[in-house]
């Protein structure tokens, strides 16, 4: 089955840059989406189609892709960015979706 | 404003059944591909399955662990999505979310908790 692997945790000081990677075990040519989830809340989309930002999402959130690894970058991290982040994509046919293992971002 | 409201969660014994509902409003439901996602306590998100719109064929796909036990359906006349869960196991304990995972947007309900325990 298709898998997406993320680091379990990332720690960053306020104002610094956090980078969260999402590594696929195969190149599927499917887009990657990123979700932010705070405790007790539903996930919120922060990046779609690898690098596009939905309206209302701060410019400090950006996405990039290289080979089988995609990266979510949070520039100038703020305390409110402390949350779990999940990448999401699909298998090569686009039929079965999969979420990454999740990364907890801690703002020191 | 898009609203997705799940209901039907609760405590059920192993081997039992439960049907979840997701009432949708604020968008054209019959055109939407609808998805169920679950999250076990303290764990990550897991895609459960998706039903396409009838105009796109109405195809339904499931993640392997629930295939043959769970059934996703929709009633476009009621703007409602369903998840029929049979032969429930302890590992099915989770918050279940309905969602629209579109190309450029996503909306989620607040989830409903399903606990499978004797």
Q: Answer for the pair A20, A11: CB distance below 8 angstroms, yes or no.
A: no
What integer pLDDT is reported at residue A2 of this predicted model? 84
CA proximity to A98, closest of B85, B90, B21, B62: B62
φ/ψ of A89, rounded to 5, equals: -150, -160
Question: Which chain B residue has the Cα nearest residue A95?
Answer: B61
Q: Tell me the chain A residues in contact with residue B63 when contact means C-beta distances shorter than 8 Å.
A: 96
What integer pLDDT is reported at residue A17 of this predicted model? 97
Confidence of residue A24 (pLDDT cuts 50, 70, 90): confident
What integer pLDDT is reported at residue B15 of this predicted model? 98
What integer pLDDT is reported at residue A26 of this predicted model? 75
Question: Which chain A residue has the Cα nearest residue B107?
Answer: A44
Indicate the residue of B45, B61, B97 with minimum beta-carbon distance to A96: B61
Q: What is the mean pLDDT of chain A?
A: 94
Within 8 A by CB and 6+ apart from B19, the residues are B8, B82, B83, B84, B85
Cα–Cα distance, A15 to B116 (Å, whole number): 43
Q: Answer for the pair B50, B60: CB distance below 8 angstroms, yes or no.
A: yes
Burial letters A41-77, b for 16+ CB under 10 A, else e: ebbbbbbbebbebeeebeeebbbeeeeeebbbbbeeb
pLDDT digits (tens, 9 = 90+) for A71-93: 999 999 999 999 999 999 999 88
Instruction: Give the pair of three-digit tokens for residue B29.
Output: 């439901």
A36 close contact with B: CB closer than 8 A: no
pLDDT digits (tens, 9 = 90+) for B1-51: 999 999 999 999 999 999 999 999 999 999 999 999 999 999 999 999 999
Question: Cβ B64–A99 below 8 Å, yes or no?
Answer: no
pLDDT digits (tens, 9 = 90+) for A28-37: 778 999 999 9
What integer pLDDT is reported at residue A66 of this predicted model? 87
Cα–Cα distance, B83 to B49 (Å, whole number): 9
Pairing, β B60-62 against β B45-51: antiparallel
């Amino acid at each position: 089955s298709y898998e997406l692997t993320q680091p379990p945790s990332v720690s960053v000081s306020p104002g610094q840059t956090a980078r969260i990677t999402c590594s696929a075990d195969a190149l599927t040519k499917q887009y990657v989406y990123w979700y932010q989830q705070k405790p007790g809340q539903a996930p919120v989309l922060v990046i779609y189609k690898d690098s596009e930002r939905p309206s209302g999402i701060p410019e400090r959130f950006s996405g990039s892709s290289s080979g089988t690894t995609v990266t979510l970058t949070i520039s100038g991290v703020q305390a409110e960015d402390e949350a779990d982040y999940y990448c999401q994509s699909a298998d090569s046919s686009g039929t079965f979706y999969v979420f990454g293992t999740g990364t907890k971002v801690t703002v020191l | 404003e898009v609203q997705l409201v799940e209901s039907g969660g609760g405590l059920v014994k192993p081997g039992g059944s439960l049907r979840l509902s997701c009432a949708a409003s604020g968008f054209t439901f019959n055109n939407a591909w609808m998805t169920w996602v679950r999250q076990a306590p303290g764990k990550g998100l897991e895609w459960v399955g998706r039903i396409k719109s009838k105009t796109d064929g109405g195809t339904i796909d499931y993640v392997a662990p629930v295939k043959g036990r769970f059934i996703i359906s929709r009633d476009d006349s009621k703007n409602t999505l369903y998840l029929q869960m049979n032969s429930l196991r302890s590992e099915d304990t989770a918050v279940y979310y309905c969602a629209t995972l579109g190309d450029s947007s996503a909306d989620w309900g607040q989830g409903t908790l399903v606990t499978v325990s004797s």
